[in-house]
Amino acid sequence: FPSHDTAVGNENVVRAKGYIESLRKRGVSYYEIAFVKEIGYTHIGTLEFLVDDAKSVYFLEMNTRLQVEHTVTEERYGIDLVSLQFDLAEGLPLPFTEDDLHPMRYAIECRISSEDPDMNFLPSIGTLHRLRLPAGPGIRLDMGLVEGNTVSMRFDPMLGKLIAFDKRPYRD
Q: What single string gives the DSSP state of each residue in 61-77?
A: EEESS--TTHHHHHHHH
User: E strands within the chain?
Assistant: 46-51, 57-63, 107-113, 115-116, 122-123, 126-127, 139-143, 150-151, 158-165
List the catalytic residue out of 11, 38, 48, 61. 61
Structure confidence at residue 168 (pLDDT): 76
Q: Is 61 a catalytic residue?
A: yes
pLDDT in tens, the chain (172 residues): 233 333 333 444 445 555 556 555 656 677 777 788 888 888 888 888 777 788 777 788 888 888 888 898 899 888 999 999 899 889 998 888 878 888 888 899 999 999 988 999 888 999 999 999 999 999 999 998 899 999 988 888 889 999 999 877 767 6
Structure confidence at residue 94 (pLDDT): 86
Q: CA torsion sign, 93 to 99 to 104 to 105? A: positive
Distance CA 117, CA 121 (A): 5
Pairing outcome for strands 126-127 and 150-151: antiparallel
3-state secondary structure of 10: helix
Distance CA 31, CA 26 (A): 9
Q: Which helix (H) or strand (E) holds 81?
A: helix 81-89
For 42, residues 6+ apart whose C-beta sits below 8 A from its C-beta are 36, 88
Structure confidence at residue 9 (pLDDT): 39
pTM for the full predicted model: 0.70
Structure confidence at residue 19 (pLDDT): 56
Distance CA 36, CA 64 (A): 11
Structure confidence at residue 1 (pLDDT): 26
